[in-house]
Amino acid sequence: MREFIVEADGGSRGNPGPAGYGSVVRDAATGETLVETYEYLGIVTNNVAEYRGLLAGLRAAHDLDPSARVHVRMDSKLVVEQMSGRWKIKHPDMKPLALEAGRAFPPERVTYEWIPREQNKHADRLANEAMDSRASASSVKKLSSAKAEADVRAAKAVASPGWAPADMGAPATFVLLRHGETPLTPQKRFSGSGGTDPALSEIGREQAERAAAALAGRGTIQHILASPLTRTRQTAEAVADRLGLEVTVEDGLIETDFGAWEGLTFGEVRERYPDDLTTWLSDPEAEPTGGGESFAATATRIAATRDKLVAAYAGRTVLLVTHVTPIKTFVRLALGAPPESLFRMELSAASMSVVAYYADGNASVRLLNDTSHLRP
């Protein structure tokens, strides 16, 4: 059985601040560097950047040989102890990343070792190059040890802002379909993953059928993924029946948990929890009353889901049937927009948005909140 060594690191200049990660995959027998990857992440914490580096390294190793054994070496005591199961993971931003990392390989084939920072210089250098680049692109290169430095410098140049290079192949294209109406939708009530999980209303079912007809006419959808909630699965099944495709449930597409606000209108929340609402509207790290999911935690989850799906569906067009907050977050991250931009987007029931992801890591928002298929 083949064995890899994954060395990973992440950093944040400000914590939270401009952040990036670096990961290296080596052949355990020869020490040869097989893959280097780094990415500028925007404004996140140091620990989130470290987890993103781990996840990128494990995915790169999996791409090389999914049957391999992996030994992870990191100078983050927190990540090593949490992934080894000795420390609990309490922070909501890190839980989904740790879950994704744990799924990369069967747990019995991955071991973790803490190393001093001076023994992790390769990954640390890549993380700093990512932060220096401040680009919303990632670079992954299969390397020979002799060419490593030259290829990393070239990758950094490609990652600089500007027009994307030509001939990168077909992008991974995500058609983002919001579910049809439920009884709560016209009442504008908070309806997340922690509520009653309502089904589509009669209007919502009609909207799903109209969306299905429009997508059948489009003729480009190759796969359908849906959030696990009832309303998204029902919407996805309407499309799947029309296109003759199967629906795959993707947990990462689930709506934000709005805690104690589930089922309430905005006005009712403002009346009952005015201070919590004010904080939530101004701070992406703030959770809804009762321990719901912050926008920052949602963004971390969506970013991890995006990375996984882009890798799995490169060059394909995929329908993602999901919810308001995940779709807005996909768009926000693609634009590199600040968290408050979530409050500047309109997203109607059964609307369609489209984001394409290219081989150099850049994204292009092609459509937002299209409801033309719902008109008589």
Residues making up the chain, counted from first to last: 376
Catalytic residue, chosen from 62, 122, 179, 323, is: 179
Helix (H) or strand (E) holding 280: helix 274-282
49 Cβ contact list (under 8 Å, min separation 6): 10, 11, 12, 19, 20, 21, 41, 127
Task: Verify whether residue 122 is a known catalytic residue.
Answer: no
Helices (H) and strands (E) in the chain, counts: 11, 12
Is the separation of the CB atoms in 178 and 351 below 8 Å?
Answer: yes
Orientation of helix 295-312 relative to helix 324-335, angle to 10°: 70
Helix (H) or strand (E) holding 110: strand 110-114
Q: Of 75, 50, 70, nearest to 58 (Cα)?
A: 70
78 Cβ contact list (under 8 Å, min separation 6): 47, 50, 87
Q: Of 148, 153, 156, nearest to 25 (Cα)?
A: 148
Helix, strand, or coil (residue 84): coil
End-to-end CA distance of the chain: 60
Gap between the Cα atoms of 358 and 369, Å rounded: 22
SS (H, E, C) 111-137: EEEECCHHHCHHHHHHHHHHHHHCCCC
Catalytic residue, chosen from 250, 255, 287, 293, is: 255
Orientation of helix 95-104 relative to helix 295-312, angle to 10°: 20
Residue ranges of alpha helices (H) inside 8-120 are 46-64, 77-83, 95-104
Q: For residue 179, what are the CA distances in angstroms to 13, 18, 209, 236, 276?
A: 39, 34, 11, 8, 28
100 Cβ contact list (under 8 Å, min separation 6): 55, 304, 308
Task: Verify whether residue 81 is a known catalytic residue.
Answer: no
Gap between the Cα atoms of 92 and 47, Å rounded: 12
Catalytic sites, residue numbers: 179, 255
